Amino acid sequence: MKVWKLVAGILSIVLFIIVAFQSCAAGMVNALEENGGSSGSAGIIVAILMLTGGIVSIATRKSTGKGGNIALIIIFGLAALIGFAGHGNYSDLVIWAGWCLINAVVAVIAIITGKKNADPADSGNKETN
């Protein structure tokens, strides 16, 4: 999972730039058409959450606790929820929300597999007096 966290973190940071520019363009289209859409704003929020998730993913890649994975689930899950709910006329936002959902699911898998791997090690480290 260390490699996945590093790769996902780097990709999320790079994708932040793309999503931010696309969101600005979608927001401009919404403003020019005066259609009352908010997909550009939703895209900016998703982009910021992707940047945050990428940084957290890189920073916690070597940690053995569950805290980093829980933070990733919350950050990427919130980004996916906002992206799927607010895509409007910015249809690419569904793709970026899908990327965030994949990262959240992988963080859940990391928690589940980390728990299974930690149980045998914990029982072997107990001292008997």
Tens digit of pLDDT for each residue in 16-65?
999 999 888 888 887 887 777 788 888 899 999 999 999 999 999 888 78
Residue 128 falls inside a structural domain: no
Instruction: State the chain's mean pLDDT as an integer.
Output: 85
With beta carbons less than 8 A apart as the criterion, state whether 20 and 42 touch.
no
Q: What pTM did the predictor assign?
A: 0.83
Please tell me whether residue 82 adopts helix, strand or coil conformation. helix
Residue 77 falls inside a structural domain: yes
With beta carbons less than 8 A apart as the criterion, state whether 96 and 45 touch.
no
The tally of domains found in the chain comes to 1
Residue 30 falls inside a structural domain: yes
Domain assignment of residue 91, given as a range? 2-117
Residue 124 falls inside a structural domain: no
Percent of the chain at pLDDT above 70?
Answer: 88
Residue 107 falls inside a structural domain: yes
DSSP 60: T
Return the closest-CA partner of residue 93 out of 107, 103, 104, 79.
Answer: 79
